[in-house]
Structure 1
Amino acid sequence: MRTARIVFDGQIHTVTPHADGVRLPDGRVLAENQVLWLPPVVPGTIFALGLNYADHAKELAFKPPEEPLVFLKGPNALTGHRGQTRRPVGVKFMHYECELVAVIGREARRVKREDALSYVGGYTVANDYAIRDYLENFYRPNLRVKNRDACTPLGPWLVSADEVADPQALALTTTVNGRLTQQGNTRDMVFPVALLIEYLSSFMTLKPGDIILTGTPDGVVDCQPGDEVVTEIEGIGRLVNTIVS
């Protein structure tokens, strides 16, 4: 099953896919551009991984981390499908990051890797923009890099975990204005989803609605105002975002 959250006629609705757009609970069908898209989940704690693909670490001239490099994001950073993300004036390098997101479905504490995926309620797509000008240290992403308002589009769909046979076998792609700029596969994660859940739950309790952004492969390029960026993950969804000044 896949669901999304949208605003229509002044109300928040949970909708399902339809060939012509989305279907409201009362059966009405609306086009994608008739609604305001929200992130598909109301997030709890937002975890994000840095350098979780070896090729991306190499692209940035760093070694892959020896243990998960995790930082937190505030909910203000999230925006929905077809939203806009601002590029600050004067920055030299702002790039997308296509990422698989695991959404925790039930409370998890001291979970073993072999059982970890049973704690996932579903998956979605993130585009976790980064502004490299503001990065103090690749091993310590700071607030201005990863917590800007609307810097992380999420969605459009939350896909239930039972529809994803193997989260470590999904193709990722990014296009900028229709041009393919990034290709990868979740099998190349340094720390796969199950290991991340084992790691995080070893020292803190994960709650339903907590989300884990799992990192991006190589192929990031600078984006300019007016660019339409589409991050897509096989079987999960196609997330559209536009850069504005």
Structure 2
Amino acid sequence: MMPRWIIACLMMTMGAAAAQEPPIQASAWRINNIPLDMPLEAEFNGEFLEGIYQEKLADRLIGSVLNEWPSYHIATTLKIGKLTAQDAQEGAELDPVHERMEIYFSSRADGRRAFWIRSRKPMDAPADAAGTAETLAMIEANFGKPTRIVTRRERPGDAIVIVADPAAKARLPDPLVLSDADYLDFWSMDLQDRARILGPDFRGAIVLLIAFQGRLQAMQTELIDLGRAQTVFELTP
């Protein structure tokens, strides 16, 4: 098992190196090639969402459906790797070995832009010091230096990694307070509770690492803009 202090030391080392590099702008953040703010139908930075699905996700796409309640959102199942004939069988999208992605969109008046992209996929990687360092380096390469990392001593290898958009005006609460229940439920937490913890205008990336018996078993990655979410949901108390 990896003590909590090892994660802290790893992040201090990575942070010292990252301090010499400019922050990665949120406009460069992607989950499965899809950026935050991507419109459901309109062009964005020379691309359409439909085109991304057709050109960059087609060889992994098992199923995708657009729902209109409680807000417009797309639920997608992706193969980890290339599709095979077996993936075309009925019920393949329910197999837990696949990646699940959800994209939630803002109001029609706001252009139905993505305010929450959430991906959850199974993993099988070491959750010891070396493995965690590699995972954290990957997160930093994709999203920049973490703003906060939340861990629990009794759950070695687990972590909630938060990267606030460096260009956003809103800042994370300091201190950032999560109860034990908040920590355990964070992966499935609704937007109301996210806003309670992160602040109603938080914009950034969140990566949840879920480990068991020294192995990283799942990773949930999110891009989220709680300010834009308020075009369709009431998030303030």
TM-score relative to the length of structure 2: 0.27
| Higher strand proportion | 1
Structure with greater helix percent: 2
TM-score between both structures, scaled by the size of structure 1: 0.26
Larger Rg: 2
